[in-house]
Each structure stands twice: as C-alpha cells, then as structure tokens.
C-alpha cells in the first residue's frame, strides 16, 4: 500500500498559537512543503495565507501534491457569508480542496436551517469551481447520535442537490484537532467513531483527522474505508511503511 497517497500532511497553527514569529512559523510551512515533495503526500493542509508560497514551491519541484486549506476554522461559528467569502479567497489563491468547519454549535441547538444552508452553499461554491470540499463535524463536541445525524444530513444534501456523481468530491471529516476536551479525552478521530462515519457517509468520502500519529493506526483507518488521513505525523507514518517494506 502507498500510505502516502492517503495523507493530508497538516500544519495549521498560527504564529501566535505556535508561540513563534511570523517568519519562524512560515519556516514550519516551508519544512512541511519540502517533506511533502520528498514523500509525495496526497495533499498539504495549510492556512490560506501560505497558499501562494506552496504553489510556487510545488510548481518549482514539479510536484503533484495538492493544496488544501481550512474555512471557518476552528470554531465553525463564522456566518455563512463569512465562510463563503473565505472560501472564494482560498479558491482565488489556488487551493485544490477546502475543509469547512460546520457550525456544530448551531447544529446542537437544533438550528438545522442555518446548518443546511451553509453546507449547501459551501458545496456549491466548491463544486462550481472544480474543488473538493470536506465538512469537519468536530466529533469531540457531539454525541454518537449527533455524529450519525449530521453525517446523514450532509450525505442527503449532496445526493439530493448535487447527485451521486458528486459524492466522490465531498467528504465528512472528523475533527479540527483544536477542540478542547475535558479530562484529556480524545479530540480527534478514533477507530469506532470513524467506522460510524464511514457507514453513514457512503457514498461520500471520509477523512480521519486528529490523533492519527502512527503507521498502525493509519493502516486500520484505511482498512475501515477512510479515504484520507489528516495528520501532523505524516513523516513518521511513511517512514514506518518504508522500513516495514524493507523487512520483507
């Protein structure tokens, strides 16, 4: 298996979140891009401000690595219009894939009209620009019942409004990786929850994000039917695969 082609190598911290200067933080992005080129990851997931740098580096290297960015990150409470404006800017900058944080707080409060509107319009702006779109549902904030419900809502909206032929272009994604949980509970993807998402999202694609830090877990995610893995541990995962293959 080429595990590298399942990986969305991720660096989403702002300079202040990383306690770095802007220059130091940009260097982190450069290092991720160099690594992505070397190991031929599927995609790099970065903040929109770094997209021009990424496009230049990837083009110079002749790399096929895709560029993804986040929308409404990480709280998800941006208005639909703010998310759409952010999405258009990312598209104009050259992003290939956009990962929206669904307004999961509105969803939990029962404001389904708002949630459905942002999902519909977010999908529409991406598909009309030939971009893939992922919806981060923030599983650590939801019950199992809510996870199933929001996943089914996204699937239904896609199938009813954009057709089964577009199912391959829309993902349900587990987590931002930034959600603060109590008692150090997992804030990202777990195998049992990803199994639930895969089962309820089909034929849509799925992405496990947050908490996948080793090759063994990555393999188990793929075996479940997960299509992408968002991780800041991509190098550890691919080098483990290479070392394992050399053992045969």
CA distance 75 to 241: 34
Radius of gyration of the chain (CA): 17
Q: How many CB atoms lie within 10 A of CB 244?
A: 13
Count Cβ neighbours within 10 Å for each residue of 94-111 and write b for 16 or more, e otherwise: ebbbbbbbbbbebbeeee
Peptide bond between residue 203 and the one before it cis (omega within 30 degrees of 0): yes
Q: Is 99 a catalytic residue?
A: yes
Bridge partners, residue 71, by sequence = 100
Q: Which residues contact 110 (CB under 8 A, 6 or more apart)?
A: none
> Which residue among 83, 131, 132, 207 is the active-site one?
207
> Which residue among 8, 99, 205, 227 is the active-site one?
99
Q: Is 205 a catalytic residue?
A: no
Q: Are 92 and 64 in contact (CB under 8 A)?
A: no
Q: Is 155 a catalytic residue?
A: no
Catalytic positions are 99, 173, 207
């Amino acid at each position: 298996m080429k595990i590298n082609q399942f990986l969305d190598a991720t660096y989403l911290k702002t300079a202040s979140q990383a306690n770095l200067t802007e220059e130091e933080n940009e260097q982190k992005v450069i290092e991720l891009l160099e690594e992505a080129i070397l190991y031929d990851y599927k995609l790099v997931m970065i903040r929109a401000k770094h997209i021009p740098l990424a496009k230049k580096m990837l083009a110079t290297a002749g790399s096929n690595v895709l560029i993804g960015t986040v929308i409404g990150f990480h709280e998800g409470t941006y208005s639909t219009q703010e998310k759409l404006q952010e999405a258009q800017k990312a598209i104009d900058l050259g992003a290939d894939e956009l990962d929206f944080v669904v307004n999961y707080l509105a969803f939990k409060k029962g404001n389904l009209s708002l949630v459905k509107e942002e999902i519909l319009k977010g999908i529409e702006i991406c598909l009309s620009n030939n971009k893939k779109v992922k919806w981060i549902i923030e599983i650590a904030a939801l019950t199992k019942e809510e996870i199933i419900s929001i996943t089914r809502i996204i699937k239904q909206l896609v199938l009813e409004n954009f057709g089964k032929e577009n199912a391959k272009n829309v993902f349900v994604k587990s987590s931002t990786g930034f959600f603060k949980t109590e008692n150090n509970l997992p804030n990202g993807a777990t195998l049992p929850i990803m199994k639930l998402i895969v089962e309820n999202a089909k034929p849509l694609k799925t992405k496990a994000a947050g908490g996948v830090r080793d090759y063994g877990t990555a393999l188990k995610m793929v075996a479940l039917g997960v299509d992408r893995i968002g991780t800041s541990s991509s190098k550890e995962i691919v080098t483990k695969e290479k070392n394992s293959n050399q053992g045969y």
